[in-house]
Structure formats: structure tokens, C-alpha cells
Amino acid sequence: MNSKEAILYALKKGYRITREGEVLNPKGIQIRGKGNGRGYRQFSIRYGPRSEGKHVTIQYHRFQGYMKYGDRIFEKNMCVRHMNHKLGVADDKSDNSWDGVQLGTHGDNQMDQPKEVRIARSKKATSMRKDLIKGDIERDMVNDRKDGMSIGKIADKYGKSKGTLSYFFEKRGLGGVRALIK
């Protein structure tokens, strides 16, 4: 189930998000949700027969973004950005309120970061790409990918970023992050 299908399924089941950014279950009770390890709040709902135990996860900011902008959040190169203007801070991932999210491009999202952060990330990515061309590591990563390991797991295993590995694998015809997220 992709992000759009998950959000539409949640709405059909009666889940809602308040203007303040809190998710309510079909009975109108606020659910706690949880973090995903990168600072984003998310919640899961079950679908299909209970015995199958299938769940779909929805990020709060994308749920709010859908309520505010509709299908536009699913357009190519568009993303839901965190914009906490009350605190003067961009990318406050805890603020999922109506006013705390905006629609923009991935480029806009990157430019929301302070210049120093963008420069540091760029230097790190450049250095990681140079480090990738080290025979044995490259061969092992390619073999892991061919064996079906996700980019995220390969990134963890070799201490590389998913973006760097996506670039690396796309150049070798092994698919990027979008083809790999499992």
C-alpha cells in the first residue's frame, strides 16, 4: 500500500487529524502515535483480516498535508515541509499543525536548512561518494543489493547515507531508494 492509499484508507476508516496536529481514531480519541527514529511522528492502522496482522504506517505531517493540500502532496518532486514559524525554526518535525506544514519541492525543503548545515551535509556526501570506490566494499554492497537487501540496511551496514547509496546503485543500474524501500 503506497502513501496515498494508506492516507485514503485511514480517512475511510474514520481517522482524522486536528488543526493542532493530533490524530484521532474513529471513536474521536486522540492516539499517541510514535516516532520513526528520524523525528517524524507516525501511527499505524491494521488492514485486512486480523489473523494476517497487516499494518500500514502513516506519518502525521503527510496526513495533515493531505488534509490541507489534497492530492498535490503526491505530485512528483513535491513534499510536505515542516515550517514552525512561531518559533522561527524550519523543519520542527514535532509540529504537525495546520500552520506548521507547507507544500514545497524537495529543493525548498533543503533550502529550509541553515546554510552551515547544507554545506556540512554536502561535504559529507562528497566525501562518502569518494569513499565508495574502494573495491571490496563496492563489490560487497553490490552483492548485498543483488541479494535483495534494502538500501537502508546496506547504509546501516556500511555506515553510508541512503542518498549516497541511491546514487551509487542508480549509476550501476541496480535501482535507487524509491525502488528499494521495503
Q: Indicate whether 120 pLDDT > 70.
A: yes
What was the pLDDT predicted at 93?
Answer: 79
DSSP 3-state percent helix, strand, coil across the chain (nearest 5): 50, 20, 35
**How do residues 48-107 score in pLDDT, each as one tens digit?**
888 888 999 999 999 999 999 999 999 999 999 988 754 555 557 788 999 989 999 988
Of 87, 40, 36, 31, nearest to 62 (Cα)?
40
**How do residues 28-61 score in pLDDT, each as one tens digit?**
999 988 988 888 899 999 988 888 889 999 999 9
What was the pLDDT predicted at 130?
Answer: 58
What DSSP state is assigned to residue 89?
Answer: E
What was the pLDDT predicted at 38?
Answer: 80
Q: Indicate whether 182 pLDDT > 50.
A: no
In whole angstroms, give the CA distance from residue 181 to residue 175: 10
In whole angstroms, give the CA distance from residue 10 to residue 124: 38
SS3 of residue 51 by DSSP: helix
Element (H, E) at 65: helix 60-69
The CA-atom distances, in angstroms, between 93 and each of 18, 58, 74, 85 are 16, 14, 19, 12
What was the pLDDT predicted at 177?
Answer: 40
Domains of the chain: 3-111 (3.90.75.20), 115-180 (no CATH)
What was the pLDDT predicted at 145?
Answer: 85
The CA-atom distances, in angstroms, between 175 and each of 66, 80, 107, 130, 151 are 28, 24, 22, 20, 9
Name which residue leads in pLDDT, 128 or 161: 161
Give the angle 76-80-82 at the CA atoms, nearest 5°. Answer: 150
Of 79, 56, 70, 65, nearest to 10 (Cα)?
56
**How do residues 137-179 score in pLDDT, each as one tens digit?**
777 888 888 888 888 898 888 888 888 788 777 777 765 444 4
pTM: 0.64
Mean pLDDT score, 15-27? 96
